[in-house]
């Protein structure tokens, strides 16, 4: 079905290329016959851009989520109507340029859930990429194609985005490294938005060394963070299936050997994480509608049923509801940041379950999504960095264990996570 969809899209893509008035000077792109055995790449993104001859990432290959602009090439944002109605970008996203200048070569653009408005990983128009680590299960979204491409070793790493969990969840589902960066640390200019107040630019990699090398190129070089306290928030742990607990205990145990450790709760109130989830959903939905209202009302784009339902909800979110949610977010942000301070790191599940089966019912998907958002909204509301470390269950299914750190501690958090994973001496690293 995926390939039929791609074939039907080819004519629309050609028209987009012909009708774009702002033809930008293209980079040195070349058509590239991608061995896309997992359906990770979009039909209009099958080209290669060679990186610099030398640099810290020389010899590495990376893919780019189809939200990032590349000069002279179309950005599709997971939706054919977006592709059709947006002119070719005149400049590339700065992260793409930085990676190319560091010696990495780009090998194509990858599928995203429509306008990044999902964490499941399916796309009504382009299909669902195959999760190589669990082929009968979804890859997670919205960085679905990036995670699938990395998991299948079609590239060494891939750019993604994370608004409500769109990198952390697919990283957990596909058994790869991923993160949400500190909000505002990396520019989201020249990138199709979902909610500018929550969007972050991210990447995924299949090994700790590559993951860290990319961080050294993209992240600001600071003096680092001296982590002194390891926290285990039990209310977050309670949101995930029991299969996460052994891996979390491993990570927490390794941290406990390095620093002071303490059990805690993010909030003493029962059900507070559900209230946080609703806060994030209301605030982000209202902002998403304000961002895309004009385009949606003018274009009347075709969305898949689940994504259309979210846009309907976003349209109906009142300013009063959004204002109350923003006021609640201020309290959550203060609470979480105060708990971590400048030297704390919290251990928590990256998602609430293993990846759902590809044929799971809508009710099952919604239940998993709600529990997962109770976890992912924590970093989203507080604007903090979170690194997802890959593990596998005894049955061989991928799961992610996360480290949540203070604002701006991204690079130090990556180094800590990589060191912990290596110390555990598991082939999954």
Question: Residue 389, Cβ neighbours under 10 Å: how many?
Answer: 28
Catalytic residue, from 142, 144, 172, 284: name it.
Answer: 142
Q: Residue 70: which of 49, 41, 39 has the closest Cα?
A: 49
Question: Residue 321, Cβ neighbours under 10 Å: how many?
Answer: 15
Kindly report the three-state secondary structure assignment for every residue of 373-399: HHHHHHHHHHCCCEEEEEEECCCCCEE
Known catalytic residue at 142: yes
Cβ burial, residue 253 (10 Å; 0-12/13-18/19+): middle
Residue reference for tokens 């620093």: 259
Radius of gyration of the chain, Cα coordinates, nearest whole angstrom: 20
Question: Token pair for residue 304?
Answer: 């898949």
Question: Token pair for residue 2?
Answer: 């995926």
Catalytic residue, from 143, 144, 146, 166: name it.
Answer: 166
Residue 166, φ and ψ in degrees, nearest 5 = -70, -10
Calpha distance 306→252 (Å, rounded) = 37
Calpha distance 94→92 (Å, rounded) = 6
Cβ–Cβ < 8 Å for 382, 183: no
Question: Token pair for residue 330?
Answer: 């201020």
Phi-psi label, residue 116: left if phi above 0, alpha if psi -120 to 50, beta otherwise: left
Known catalytic residue at 65: yes
Calpha distance 69→64 (Å, rounded) = 9
Query: HSE (CB half, 13 Å, CA atoms) of 245?
Result: 7
Calpha distance 85→61 (Å, rounded) = 30
Calpha distance 62→169 (Å, rounded) = 20
Known catalytic residue at 350: no
Q: Which residues are catalytic?
A: 65, 142, 166
């Amino acid at each position: 079905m995926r390939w039929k969809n791609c074939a039907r899209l080819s004519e629309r893509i050609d028209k987009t290329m012909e009708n774009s008035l702002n033809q930008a000077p293209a980079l040195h792109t070349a058509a590239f016959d991608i061995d896309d055995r997992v359906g990770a790449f979009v039909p209009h993104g099958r080209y290669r851009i060679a990186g610099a001859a030398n640099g810290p990432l020389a010899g590495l290959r990376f893919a780019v989520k189809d939200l990032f602009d590349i000069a002279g090439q179309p950005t599709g944002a997971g939706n054919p109507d977006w592709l059709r109605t947006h002119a070719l970008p005149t400049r590339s996203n700065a992260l793409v340029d930085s990676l190319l200048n560091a010696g990495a070569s780009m090998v194509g653009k990858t599928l995203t859930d429509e306008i990044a408005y999902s964490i499941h990983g399916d796309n009504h128009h382009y299909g669902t990429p195959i999760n190589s680590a669990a082929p009968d299960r979804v890859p997670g979204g919205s960085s679905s194609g990036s995670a699938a491409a990395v998991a299948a070793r079609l590239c060494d790493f891939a750019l993604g985005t994370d608004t409500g969990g769109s990198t952390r969840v697919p990283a957990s589902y596909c058994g790869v490294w991923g993160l949400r960066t500190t909000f505002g640390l990396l520019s989201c200019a020249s990138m199709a938005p979902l909610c500018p107040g929550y969007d972050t630019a991210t990447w995924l990699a299949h090994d700790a060394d590559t993951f860290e090398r990319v961080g050294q190129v993209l992240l600001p070089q600071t003096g680092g963070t001296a982590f002194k306290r390891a926290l285990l928030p039990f209310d977050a742990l309670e949101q995930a299936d029991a299969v996460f607990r052994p891996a979390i205990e491993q990570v927490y145990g390794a941290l406990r050997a390095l620093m002071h450790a303490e059990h805690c709760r993010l909030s003493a109130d029962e059900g507070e994480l559900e209230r946080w989830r609703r806060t994030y959903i209301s605030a982000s939905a209202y902002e998403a509608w304000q961002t895309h209202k004009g385009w949606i009302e003018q274009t009347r784009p075709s969305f898949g049923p689940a994504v259309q339902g979210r846009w309907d909800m976003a349209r109906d979110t009142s300013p009063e509801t959004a204002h109350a949610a923003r006021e609640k977010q201020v309290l959550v942000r203060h609470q979480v940041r105060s708990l971590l301070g400048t030297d704390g790191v919290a251990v928590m599940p990256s998602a609430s379950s293993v990846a759902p089966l590809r044929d799971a019912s809508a009710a099952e998907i919604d239940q998993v999504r709600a529990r997962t958002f109770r976890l992912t909204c924590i970093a989203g509301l507080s604007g903090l960095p979170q690194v997802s470390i890959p593990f596998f269950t005894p049955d061989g299914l991928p799961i992610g264990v996360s480290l949540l750190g203070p604002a701006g501690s991204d690079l130090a958090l990556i180094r800590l996570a990589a060191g912990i994973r290596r110390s555990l001496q598991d082939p999954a690293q």
